[in-house]
């Protein structure tokens, strides 16, 4: 059950990059896979909720300014007709520092099979500690203040 939905989300994850320095998120392709009234929560708990394609486009473009070498590595995937969950161990370079992170992403799909809700469950403190920066620094967009 849900193989079509799982393949759709696998394709979606591939839009974020192949792990090379030159690859960046394919924002147009990503947005084409979303409903008009889409909501994206960047990290749960406590992360911002971004509503609508224009706001998500702006956030993805902002992230491209400091994020590279991104690759979503799906470890496990589970689905129904309208819900897909992935456990991932992603690679990325953020603010010129390795930023590996383990996360769960949940995607709710609408009747047309497009993403209407996207939640990323991520321990932001764990990721920033691996990067060697403070969570406040990463959240503010500076990304350079050392925690040591």
pTM of this prediction?
Answer: 0.86
The third-level CATH classification (topology) of the domain covering 3-140 is Nuclear Transport Factor 2; Chain: A, (3.10.450)
Do residues 144 and 138 touch, judged by C-beta distance below 8 A? no
Residue by residue, pLDDT tens for the chain (148 residues) are 579 999 999 999 999 999 998 889 999 999 999 999 999 998 888 889 999 999 999 999 999 998 899 999 999 999 999 999 999 999 998 888 888 889 999 999 999 999 999 999 987 777 676 777 666 665 555 544 544 4
Beta bridge partners of 39: 51, 117
Helices (H), the chain: 3-14, 27-32, 53-64, 124-131, 135-140
User: What are the pLDDT digits (tens) for 83-94?
Assistant: 999 999 999 988
Query: Residue ranges of the domains in the chain?
Result: 3-140
């Amino acid at each position: 059950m849900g193989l079509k939905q799982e393949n759709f989300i696998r394709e979606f994850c591939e839009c974020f990059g192949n792990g090379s320095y030159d690859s960046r998120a394919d924002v147009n392709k990503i947005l084409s896979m979303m409903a008009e009234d889409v909501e994206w929560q960047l990290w749960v708990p406590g992360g911002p909720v971004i509503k609508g394609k224009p706001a998500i486009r702006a956030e993805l473009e902002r992230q491209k300014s400091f994020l590279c070498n991104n690759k979503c590595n799906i470890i496990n995937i589970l689905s129904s007709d309208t819900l897909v969950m992935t456990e991932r161990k992603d690679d990325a370079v953020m603010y010129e520092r390795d930023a590996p992170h383990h996360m769960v992403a949940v995607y709710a799909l609408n009747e047309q099979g497009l993403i209407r809700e996207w939640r990323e469950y991520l321990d932001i403190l764990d990721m920033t500690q691996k990067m060697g920066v403070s969570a406040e620094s990463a959240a503010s967009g500076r990304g350079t203040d050392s925690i040591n």
